Structure 1
Amino acid sequence: MTAIPDTCREIRLKVRPDGLPGAENFEIVSIPLPIPADDEVLVRNCYFLVSASLRMMISKGAEDVEGVPFPALREGDALAGEALGEIVSAPANSGFSPGDLVLHFQGWREYATVPIAQCRPVEPGLPDPVGYLGHGWTAYAALTRGVQIRPGDTVFVSSAAGAIGSMAGQIARLLGAKRVIGSTSSKEKAARLVSELGYDAAVFRGAAPIVEQLAAAAPQGIDVIIDNVGGEQLQAAIANARVGARVVILGALSGQLVAEGPGRIAPVELDSMQLLLKKITLRGYSADDDPHMHAEWISRFADWLDAGSIRFPREIITGLECAPQALARVINGECFGTVVVRL
């Protein structure tokens, strides 16, 4: 345990962005160390996740929407996001003790007071604590509960170089997929998907139309679509789907990262005749629907890491002051894998 300071820093929303956010939309503020209420713990954050989904919380016009798990933030609010921290103090009989590691949603700050009910204890097993913040469990839950991989499946993962996608392709292979294809934003990242993460092929924006690239990469068609993007990429995947294909929608980056608006809608035009004739099923899925899956994922992730059968691509950025620039890089598609800030 480190010495407890009298003050700490947090990043606040200074001005709601009208479009994609930049560093000028945020400010770092020093505040008195927060005092926990009777039903709260005091946590010293060690790492927090940098996610493009933050854009939906902070954009001009963003409001709370039923079903959206990210609350809208107002100017002056501290930012929020998934974090891993160490308990500094906890009420008696809370189930927590100083030194315990917990996951919670009050990142973007050095210290946080967190309701006991909103803390999830960290299950032991992973050699790198950053692994607990990775989105491998989202991919794992989607591929075991949102849809079941069948031996011989051809799987397409959109945004395959992102926090979810960089794990989804590997997990699909470990669960029995025969061929795994990913999409990404550049030729360089497409090459890394194949050389580093074992994708059989990768398509990328800016080359031929995605629908044509997918037809070449999956000439026999696609059985499972793990969609993090929507838009053109979902259209292309449906066009190349086989009869009985299963689609699991995990995200909507085509809407979240559009240059204008709050990023909370992602329109896409799909050919319902294709859905009908191919008997395609579509399902929206969130790993939060199956929270018990987290412990199962940690166990399997640890085993796969120990066996050397999976990689965990991540970028670790040190210092709270670097977080706004990290967010801009994530939104601009410059990163590969999970991005976290280390405090």
Structure 2
Amino acid sequence: MSELINRQYYLAKRPASVPTPEDVPFRDVPVAKPAAGEAIIRNMYISLDPAIRGWMSDVNNYIDPIAINDPIRSSVIGRVVKSNSDLVAEGDVVMSLGAWERYTTAPAAGMNKLDENSGIPLSNFLSVLGPTGLTALFGLMDVGKPKAGETVLVSAAAGAVGSIVGQIAKMQGCHVVGMAGSEEKCRWITDELGFDAAINYKTCGDYEAAIKAACPNGVDVYFDNVGGDILDAALMCLNRFSRVAVCGWISTYNDADAPGPKNLWQLVAESATIQGFVVLDYVERFGEGVGQLAEWLMAGKLQFKEEIIDDLDNVLPGFLKLFDGSNQGKLIIRIPE
């Protein structure tokens, strides 16, 4: 095999706020031969997720921070171009933990083979049938525990996770209210996804008043993707024995001095529960989860959006769309073969 040259986007320094090209520059480096048990994949799709911003920081997280000078960690789908393992062969398409790079070298034991002839677009395994869909499914059903007739409030409801959360909640017989950042997104979640109501958080003014108006019977389950002031407002609208499922706090990821929630006393006042979670908590149930999501998808009960951006060199501008709300669904970088 002729020498492969790998373009990587790596962490040169920890961002003080929104990551810049100085924080995350690129380099071109040769690809070494895979060690025993490893394989090299040429990445075809790279997942862009809010959690990556947390990994760029050195604060305590559910996995270790990205080390300075290491490539930016991400889930990837690619084709094996060199294998030093019996577990995968050249030509296999696999999903793996990789990075913002053209080639990823990783242990073959951590790679999951995908069937590129199944009729399912490979990108779906990073979105509705991958970590995104599984986060929505397990976070709502296992942490939120919705019951028919309850009110479920979802922040970032037009996002990759939130949009699926709302649809699953409707299948459980819940009254579902979503918060999104534009009138177009609000119309999408109500007119097409079946949410009962939507709040445009950029124009509603008083978050608490807007939530109470859209949830006249109070909030039984709050699926939190944003934290910050919206979380504080939602806490003031909780019913007795309600549940708050904390998936992410994207509103504070780029603000090291952001104040914490002020209204946590409402958890005591309403005997409510708040629980954080990550999808890796459910790794042993991934097969079950993908099966359920696929069943709903094939039955026409789930809709989703993917925003696929071509070219590795668009990875940082694409990532930043997560923080200004300009993305349309799950963000994925595609590197054409």
Q: Which segments of 5 or more consecutive residues in structure 1 lack a partner in the other structure?
A: none
Query: What is the rounded CA distance, in whole Å, between the counterparts of 1:282 and 1:288 in structure 2?
Result: 19
Indicate the RMSD between aligned Cα atoms, in angstroms.
2.3
Q: What is the rounded CA distance, in whole Å, between the counterparts of 2:166 and 2:314 in structure 1? A: 30
Is the 1:256–1:266 contact (alpha carbons within 8 Å) kept by the matching residues of 2? no
Give the CA deviation at 1:16.
3.8
Q: Is the 8 A contact 2:147 2:174 kept in 1?
A: no
Q: Give, in whole Å, the separation in 2 of the partners of 1:116 and 1:110.
A: 17
For 1:250 and 1:266, locate their aligned partners in 2 and report how far apart those are by CA, in whole Å.
Answer: 18
Partners of 1:122 and 1:194 lie apart in 2 by: 34
Tell me the TM-score normalized by structure 2: 0.89
Paired amino acid for 2:67: L
The amino acid across from 2:18 in the alignment is L
Instruction: Output one character per residue of 1:110-168: Cα deviation in whole Å (capped at 9) or x when no partner.
Output: 11110234323447867121111110111111122223221222111111122211211
Which residue identity does 2:79 align to in structure 1?
Answer: E
Higher RCO (CA 8 Å, separation ≥ 6 residues): 1
- Structure 2: distance between partners of 1:171 and 1:180: 10
Residue in 1 aligned with 2:249?
252
- Residue 191 of structure 2 corresponds to 195
Q: 2:6 aligned with 1:13, yes or no?
A: no
- After TM superposition, the structure 1 = structure 2 runs for residues 313-328 of structure 1, keeping only pairs within 5 Å, are 313-328=305-320
Say whether residues 1:267 and 2:260 are aligned partners.
yes
Instruction: Say if 1:252 and 1:266, in contact at 8 Å, map to a contact too.
Output: no
| TM-score, length of structure 1 as denominator length | 0.88
Q: Residue 85 of structure 2 contacts residue 108 of structure 2 at CA under 8 Å; is this kept in 1? A: no
8 Å Cα contact 1:78/1:108 also seen in 2? yes
Report if the CA contact (8 A) 2:8-2:27 is conserved: yes
Match of 1:337 in 2: 329
Partner of 1:68: 62
Is residue 2:92 matched to residue 1:86? no
| Helix, strand or coil at the partner of 1:36 | coil
Q: How far apart in 2 are the matches of 1:15 and 1:291?
A: 31
In 1, the alpha carbon distance for the partners of 2:287 and 2:169 equals 19
8 Å CA contact 1:254–1:266 kept in 2: the answer is: no
Give aligned-pair identity as a percent: 29
**Pairs within 5 Å for 1:262-301:** 267-272=260-265, 274-301=266-293
- Residue 171 of structure 1 deviates from its aligned partner by 1.6
- In the TM superposition, residue 224 of structure 1 has moved relative to its aligned partner by 0.9
Partner SS for 2:160: coil
Amino acid at match of 2:75: E
3-state DSSP class of the match of 1:335? coil
Give the corresponding residue for 2:148.
151
Return 5+ residue gaps in structure 2 as ranges.
none
Aligned-partner Cα distance in 2 for 1:92–1:49: 25
Tell me how far apart the structure 2 counterparts of residues 229 and 163 of structure 1 sit (CA, whole Å). 13
Kept in 1: contact 2:225–2:250 (CA 8 A):
yes
Task: Assess, with a 3 A threshold, how the Cα gap between structure 1 residues 246 and 5 changes in structure 2: closer, same or farther.
Answer: same
2:36 touches 2:85 (CA, 8 Å); kept in 1? no
For residue 77 of structure 1, report the CA deviation from its aligned partner: 2.5
Q: Is the 8 A contact 1:126 1:298 kept in 2?
A: no
Change (3 A) 1:332 1:209: same
Q: Match for 1:160 among 139, 143, 157?
A: 157
- C-alpha distance 249-186 of structure 1, shift in aligned 2 (>3 A): same
Task: Give the CA deviation at 1:52.
Answer: 2.6
